[in-house]
Amino acid sequence: MEIFPLGDSAIVIRLGASIDEATHRRVRALCARLEERPVPGMTGYVPAFASVTVHYDPARVGPAAAERGAANPYDRVAAALAPLLERLDTTAPLPAREVEVPVVYGGEFGPDLDTVAAHAGLSPDDVVALHASAEYRVSMIGFAPGFPYLAGLPERIAAPRRPTPRTVVPPGSVGIAGRQTGIYPIESPGGWQIIGRTPARLFAPDLDPPALLRVGDRVRFRPIAAEAWADAAAQADGAPQPGRGA
């Protein structure tokens, strides 16, 4: 475990050195403790693959604790975090929502499906079957608002990023990069191999919370036909979704 400052109003707690289940459980356990017992001055926290960043207001972290050598805001926050870090329970069951994401694979919706298939020595249909057969875990949200990094991709269809990133990737695009899969929530540049697209709204600033997925969610992809896109999009816009007031 390692603790270090990030600027003058955040502190990073590194809980591991690799992306694995044990580190993920430590990250989730610390987030649960921060929900139960937020430290003085905390304004929010951000979980990542192997760390949690705690943001704080330096003017609200409490009086100096000279007896502990915590004279500045960073030291005071670090001192307040210490008891939480000493007794992390990583054996408790972790709550996880199950979210199904419809996807149209290939064609104009997945222009890199053939590339991934060729890299794997499989047919495009085989890639789709493998991708949709796995259960994924949201390891972190980042890069863009609501972008989920999903662990659990079958190793057989792991593929490198594109040698030249696209300047525009449509929202809802489902991609592969290395041994991860992810979903672009908004239009943005990107270098992941795009194998499909979902009509689900991954990020909607008019909703609370604005992101469909959160760390720890379990995700499955459901293949749909291109002809079903309009109906699936209407259902995604009209039906309550996990984490959005449902």
Integer Cα distance of 45 and 236 in angstroms: 29
Span 163-184, pLDDT tens digits = 999 999 999 999 999 999 999 9
Span 118-154, pLDDT tens digits = 999 999 999 999 999 999 999 999 989 999 999 999 9
pTM: 0.85
Considering only 24-28, 36-40, 226-230, 238-242, which range has the smallest mean pLDDT? 238-242
Looking at residue 103, what DSSP letter applies?
E
- The sign of the torsion formed by the CA atoms of 25, 30, 31, 36 equals positive
Residue 108, exposed/middle/buried by CB under 10 A (0-12, 13-18, 19+)? exposed
Whole-number Cα distances in Å, 14 to 18, 61, 88: 10, 21, 14
- Residue 206, both tokens: 């008019």
